[in-house]
Homo-oligomer: A and B are copies of this chain.
Amino acid sequence: MLKKNLNASVIFHVIKLSETWKRNGDAITQQFGITTQQWLILLLLAKDPNILYFKDNPQEKPMMAKELAEAMNVSRANITNLLNVLIRKKLVVQLEDIHDKRRKRLTLTEAGKKLVDKMEFVRQEYNKRLFAKFSKADKLQFTEFIDTCLQAMRHDNLVK
């Protein structure tokens, strides 16, 4: 017999919230003919400063597939597949690094940049309504809670 438990409740809340957002995200991206995963790559290539990866990994040069894989926590093979779609859609171009021919640098095309800008507008309007009821302090406290969790998971090896 399972009992009420605040810790478990916290986790189910986060899962529910991120599922719901994912669904809404899909609804937004579909309008622009891409998937949420593809959007995330575009935002990474546009170096959206709100993405957590950039805190520990500031980027000067155009990103490589390897870095996308790290940022998104998926395999490189998977990134290859996702990128192929974006390249076919002419939203991203891949250029060999001059100093190291193994590397390929990824940048947004003009069309890619334009798409990000268009989607950015929709995203901001959506977020404004979503978070209307919260103060800046509320939101900061919320993200600090998450940062603390993420740190706990980084330091400990919580899964034995």
Contact pick for A21, options B15, B126, B140, B141, CB 8 Å: B15
Contact pick for A129, options B2, B14, B15, B156, CB 8 Å: B156
Which A residues between 38 and 66 are near B, CB-CB below 8 angstroms?
43, 46-52
**Contact in complex: B11, A150 (CB < 8 Å):** no
Chain B residues near A2 (CB-CB < 8 A): 43, 46-50, 116, 120
**Contact in complex: A50, B158 (CB < 8 Å):** no
Chain B residues near A51 (CB-CB < 8 A): 12
**Contact in complex: B159, A73 (CB < 8 Å):** no
Residue positions of A touching B, CB distance < 8 A: 2-21, 23-24, 27-28, 43, 46-52, 73, 116, 120, 123-124, 126-134, 136, 138-143, 145-150, 152-153, 156, 158-159
